[in-house]
Amino acid sequence: MADPDLFREAPEFRDHIYLNSDQFSASLTQPWSEPFFEARYSDDNLRNRMLNELFHEAVPPILHEDDLNSMYFSIENRSPFLDRGLFETVARIPTRHLMRNGYAKALLREAVRGIAPDAVVDCRRKVGFNAPLLDLLDNGDAEVRDELLAESPIYDIVQRDTVARYLEQSELPNSESKFLFNVLNAKMFLETQASSEPPLTRVNND
């Protein structure tokens, strides 16, 4: 929103989608990246972005993780908004009605007005569920830092110096906090798997 004319002047701009990807790729022991791809469903930029997130980007991985989590506890989970009839109805709504007076989700807001409190309906702030990593992790504790930076299979993939640099920060931007959160989770997973793998045995075929 720092440049309200951005997408009018550069409708193909997508740098915000892989935010800081070059920085994080350079943090790997073998830098890796992939080109951005966007399917063309509509000539309307907003609608096309929404459909790519629905069919390729945001929804499929979320549903995959959701299914793994629910099935682990034998729960039949449902996503009621992913209804074909609802999708087809909403897809026919002209794009100009999706945002109103600077409010996103304008139709949904009006649909629940009188049901949900006005303070919720009229709230412009997007509230996510990102883990406040540095609230959960005492990165100022030397023992915590030593444990996180100790020898680990993760450092065959991610540069240890990068993790150390992030752990020295008193605050992290959201993208860097997510990166560190993912690295530390992958670290614990790899160490758990390494400790639980059965020892290799030589098979005598004679």
Shared domain for 115 and 156, answered yes or no, is no
- Contact assessment for residue 117 and residue 145, using Cβ atoms and an 8 Å cutoff: no
CA distance 61 to 41: 20
pLDDT tens digits along 8-22: 898 888 888 878 888
Range of the structural domain that residue 100 is part of = 95-127
The residue that leads in pLDDT, 132 or 58, is: 58
Is the same domain home to 42 and 81? yes
Number of structural domains in the chain: 3
Selected residue with higher pLDDT from 126 and 129: 126
Share of the chain above pLDDT 90, in %: 53
pLDDT in tens, 61-93: 999 999 999 999 999 888 888 999 999 999 999
User: Strand, coil or helix: what is 28?
Assistant: strand
88 with 140, same domain? no
Give the pair of three-digit tokens for residue 9: 């002047």
Asked whether residue 28 is domain-assigned, the answer is no
Q: Residue 80 has what DSSP assignment? A: T
Residue 203 has pLDDT above 50, yes or no: no
What 3-state class would DSSP assign to 100? Answer: strand
Residues 147, 161: one domain? yes
